[in-house]
């Protein structure tokens, strides 16, 4: 009896050990499944890009391109071109049917395309100067990211000394006062006297085409807080605004559209505002204009002239509506112009 009891005891102990080992293996198997499942499970899609800033150096200056966002550019309703028959300005789809879609297709693009809204911060070493300010709240939720991207770049709105506007369209002026509130409390805002005289007069709004009337409203909402605070100071073209930065009259897109010539230690960057809206179309065909142009013929002439000059001299371009960061060069070959985007540099030390 004693031997039987002993045998049964040993059997039970071994059985318990086997069950325990099986349980351990089962637990490990479950753990492996859980770990593997977690590793393979997809996370939520972010749906956003990295912060929109990009730096380059220009002599002693540091240039930071800032994205205000992108918006679906209305290619088929906004692009225009003079009719070959009588020179009358028509929608591009009427004057040259299929041209826009064909040129976009050459760049592997199709309508709708994302239109970049870029601004540029110049750190001269003694001042922080912002060129354009984005749309703020005037274009809805697509844009208004400039101040967030300014912070991501290591600056804040209170540090900005001056803001130079290329012209007074909503997507350039709206960021200075989103919702009608001053966003840059210590900045002086500057634009050409010609543009200020045009866009801030009620009589001009009454006579303007319906497409442009909202621009007048946006200008007033954005500029009035600075005017009331004595911080809006229009300029003429006979002055250097700050050492190394000079405005250049470039009327056409607006009556007082301005380029900004930025130079330091022999390096040059031209911030050209709205010379180009749809690069894949307007570089191969500079004759394509936009319905927002105050004088389309003059805007076309400015575009042709600056394309030729930039291609010949090789200076940098900062563009408000070429895909972010909008920095690069213009080149020409066989009578055709094209854009060369800046080569990405993770640690910029000198303009290249």
Question: Who wins on pLDDT, 22 or 171?
Answer: 171
Considering only 70-74, 188-192, 300-304, which range has the smallest mean pLDDT?
70-74
Q: How far apart are CA 157 and CA 152, in angstroms?
A: 12
Q: Are residues 285 and 161 in the same domain?
A: yes
- 260-295: pLDDT as tens digits: 999 999 999 999 999 999 999 999 999 999 999 999
SS3 assignment, position 146: helix
Look at residue 47 and tell me if it is in a domain.
Answer: no
Q: What are phi and psi of 122, to 5 degrees?
A: -110, 120
Q: Name 149's Cβ contacts closer than 8 Å, sequence gap at least 6.
A: 51, 52, 53, 66, 67, 68
pLDDT attached to residue 286: 97
Residues 26 and 60 in one domain: no
Q: In a 3-state reduction of DSSP, which class is residue 164?
A: strand
Tell me the CB-side half-sphere exposure of residue 244, using CA atoms within 13 A: 22
Instruction: Report, in angstroms and rounded to the nearest whole number, the Rg of the chain calculated over CA atoms.
Output: 29
**More confident of the two residues 238 and 131:** 131
pLDDT for 25: 58
For residue 256, is it left (φ>0), alpha (ψ between -120 and 50) or beta? alpha
Q: Are residues 184 and 204 in the same domain?
A: yes
Range(s) of the domain holding residue 6: 1-41
Percent of the chain past pLDDT 70, that is, above it, reads 87
Angle at 220 between CA 217 and CA 226, to 5 degrees: 155
Cα distance between the two ends of the chain: 97
Q: What is the pLDDT of residue 142?
A: 87
Answer whether residue 352 is part of any domain. no
Question: Number of structural domains, the chain?
Answer: 2
Query: Is the same domain home to 69 and 34?
Result: no
Residues 178 and 286 in one domain: yes
Of the pLDDT bands very low, low, confident and very high (cuts 50, 70, 90), residue 3 is low
Res. 13 pLDDT band, cuts 50 70 90: very low
pLDDT at 40: 55
Per DSSP, the residues of 276-331 read: -S-HHHHTT-TT-EETT-SSHHHHHHHHHHHHHHHHHH--EEE-SSSSTT-EEEEE
The DSSP element (H or E) to which 37 belongs, if any, is helix 2-40
Residue 29 has pLDDT above 60, yes or no: no
- Using pLDDT thresholds of 50, 70 and 90, give the confidence band for residue 4: low
Bridge-based pairing state of the strands 258-264 and 188-190:
unpaired
Which one, of 298, 141, 72, lies nearest residue 290 by Cα?
A: 298
CATH of the domain at 180: 3.60.15.10
Q: In this predicted model, what pLDDT tens digit does every residue of 225-249 receive, in sequence order?
A: 999 999 999 999 988 999 999 999 9
Based on the domain organization, do 97 and 222 belong to the same domain?
yes
Instruction: Tell me: do 201 and 278 sit in the same domain.
Output: yes
For residues 146 and 219, state if they share a domain. Answer: yes
Say whether both 28 and 88 belong to one domain: no
């Amino acid at each position: 009896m004693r031997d039987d009891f002993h045998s049964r005891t040993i059997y039970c102990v071994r059985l318990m050990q086997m069950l325990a080992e099986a349980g351990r293996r089962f637990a490990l198997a479950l753990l492996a499944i859980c770990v593997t499942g977690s590793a393979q499970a997809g996370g939520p899609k972010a749906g956003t890009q990295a912060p929109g800033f990009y730096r380059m150096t220009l002599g002693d200056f540091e240039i930071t391109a800032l994205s205000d966002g992108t918006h679906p550019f209305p290619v088929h309703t906004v692009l225009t071109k003079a009719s070959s028959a009588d020179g009358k300005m028509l929608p591009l789809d009427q004057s040259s049917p299929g041209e826009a879609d064909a040129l976009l297709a050459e760049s592997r693009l199709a309508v709708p395309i994302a239109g970049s809204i870029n601004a540029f911060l110049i750190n001269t070493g003694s001042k922080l100067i912002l060129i354009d300010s984005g749309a703020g709240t005037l274009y809805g939720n697509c844009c208004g990211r400039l101040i967030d991207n300014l912070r991501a770049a290591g600056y804040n709105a209170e540090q900005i000394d001056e803001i130079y506007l290329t012209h007074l369209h909503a997507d350039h002026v709206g960021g200075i006062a989103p919702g009608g509130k001053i966003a840059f409390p210590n900045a002086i805002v500057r634009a050409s006297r010609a543009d200020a005289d045009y866009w801030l007069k009620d009589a001009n709004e009454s006579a303007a085409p319906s497409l442009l009337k909202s621009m007048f409203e946006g200008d007033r909402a954005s500029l009035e807080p600075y005017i009331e605070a004595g911080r809006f100071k229009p300029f003429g073209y006979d002055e250097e605004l700050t050492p190394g930065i000079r405005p250049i009259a470039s009327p056409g897109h607006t009556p007082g559209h301005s380029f900004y010539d930025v130079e330091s230690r022999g390096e040059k960057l031209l911030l050209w505002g709205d010379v180009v809206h749809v690069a894949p179309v307007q570089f191969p065909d500079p004759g394509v204009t936009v319905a927002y142009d105050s004088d389309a013929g003059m805007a076309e002439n400015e575009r042709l002239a600056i394309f030729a000059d930039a291609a010949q001299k090789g200076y940098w371009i900062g563009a408000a509506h070429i895909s972010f960061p909008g920095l690069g060069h213009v080149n020409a070959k066989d009578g055709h112009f094209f854009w060369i985007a800046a080569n990405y540099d993770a640690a910029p030390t000198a303009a290249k």
